[in-house]
Structure 1
């Protein structure tokens, strides 16, 4: 009986210890008051005041590090080692985007070889555009998968399309998901996470630096 009780006690201690173990957090991108992180293998965009589903909150962030909080414990994280170690190499696959009006980052680029203008939006799950832009780019978007996008105006009918290529600066990526937001008739093409998640991001001197992941 004593051995059985000892086994149960040890098992409970193991379960409690595992439950209290801090999550594995890696920082993939840093911007003022915002961080792109991976928590236990899941990518999250952390903004101050909004905790992740895992309970991780962003306290502060700059171009060097992020200060996080989990269950009352403060955690400091810099960019992951593989990012910082390779960051200055192979600059031909890098894009530098200066901060523009209203603190947004605007840049030119190409979609399927056609020139476009982007606004960086880490809150957009994919590259997003209007039907006008989609028609200009000759995308067969009306045959795409239909879904409802959550926008500032509520649920909006939208279509998913696949872009053959997207280029920004020295970075070119292929087979990138995009969304055509039917209710929008004007506006910039949003450079969302379907592109950004394949890059490493950091801000230096009011310039957003993107570097292609390998």
Structure 2
């Protein structure tokens, strides 16, 4: 069934919007029609765009029920339904966004970050295919993991069932990656394991007790 969410008041929000200098774009999400986002770009009439569609240099990356992720010149931005227009395409280039991690006494790289804009503690795990999340953390983060795809998870106590899900956003420092695969395990985990579904989107270097993650 095609679901339609439309917010006429978003048109009024654009009254004060102006075309920005340089290559930045003013973009607002005024509605969601199934898998397409209704975008208003630089005050023009709304256009329905699906994932990978582009218009005036704005590419749609992902469309959710009440938000959409767009990209301009490599810079991504989450648009929320009915919110004021945002500027995309100005500021720090994504390639200059980096995080420097320092190993703890056991040689692990740990820090804090955000999953779907909610805080979490993570540890880098270059041997993990996807991000690993314990069930308790998944519940705290509000993840609807039980609707995910059932998968077998290897634990110290043998194989058990977990759930494969996709996270809207994972943020570490100034780096944000969208649409990241994760596996939720029923076993308790002290940290979120930051695996290669996130790390493969970055340029990663290690020297001594320092690891540098840099957005491509």
Q: TM-score, normalised by structure 1?
A: 0.55
How big is each residue's C-alpha offset from its partner over 1:89-120, in whole Å with a ceiling of 9 and x where there is no partner? 86741111110131100011000001111000
Taking the aligned partners of 1:128 and 1:155, their CA distance within structure 2 comes to: 15
How big is each residue's C-alpha offset from its partner over 1:141-192, in whole Å with a ceiling of 9 and x where there is no partner? 001000102333332211011111000122100000111011x124111001
Structure 2 gaps, min length 5: 1-92
Q: CA RMSD in A?
A: 1.6
Taking the aligned partners of 1:122 and 1:152, their CA distance within structure 2 comes to: 18
| Equivalent residue number for residue 167 of structure 2 | 163
Tell whether the 8 Å contact from 2:95 to 2:215 is kept in structure 1 after alignment: no
Taking the aligned partners of 2:96 and 2:173, their CA distance within structure 1 comes to: 9
| Counterpart selection for 1:212 from 209, 212, 215 | 215
Is structure 2 residue 210 aligned with structure 1 residue 202? no
With over 3 angstroms needed to count, the CA separation of the structure-2 counterparts of 1:114 and 1:140, relative to structure 1, is: same
Tell whether the 8 Å contact from 1:199 to 1:210 is kept in structure 2 after alignment: yes
| Counterpart selection for 1:106 from 110, 113, 129 | 110
Taking the aligned partners of 1:163 and 1:136, their CA distance within structure 2 comes to: 14
> Runs of at least 4 residues of structure 1 off by over 4 A?
89-92
Larger radius of gyration: 1
Taking the aligned partners of 1:90 and 1:130, their CA distance within structure 2 comes to: 30
Q: TM-score, normalised by structure 2?
A: 0.54
Tell whether the 8 Å contact from 2:145 to 2:165 is kept in structure 1 after alignment: yes
Q: Secondary structure at the match of 2:136?
A: helix
| Equivalent residue number for residue 174 of structure 1 | 178
Structure-to-structure mapping, 1:18-167, within 5 angstroms: 92-167=96-171
With over 3 angstroms needed to count, the CA separation of the structure-2 counterparts of 1:91 and 1:139, relative to structure 1, is: same
How many residues align structurally?
A: 124
Q: Secondary structure at the match of 2:184?
A: strand
Tell whether the 8 Å contact from 1:127 to 1:179 is kept in structure 2 after alignment: yes
Taking the aligned partners of 1:165 and 1:93, their CA distance within structure 2 comes to: 16
How big is each residue's C-alpha offset from its partner over 1:27-48, in whole Å with a ceiling of 9 and x where there is no partner? xxxxxxxxxxxxxxxxxxxxxx
Taking the aligned partners of 1:101 and 1:131, their CA distance within structure 2 comes to: 27
Q: Secondary structure at the match of 1:138?
A: coil
Greater fraction helix: 1
Please state how far the C-alpha of 1:205 moved relative to its aligned partner.
4.1
Moved more, 143-152 or 188-197: 143-152
Taking the aligned partners of 2:160 and 2:115, their CA distance within structure 1 comes to: 23
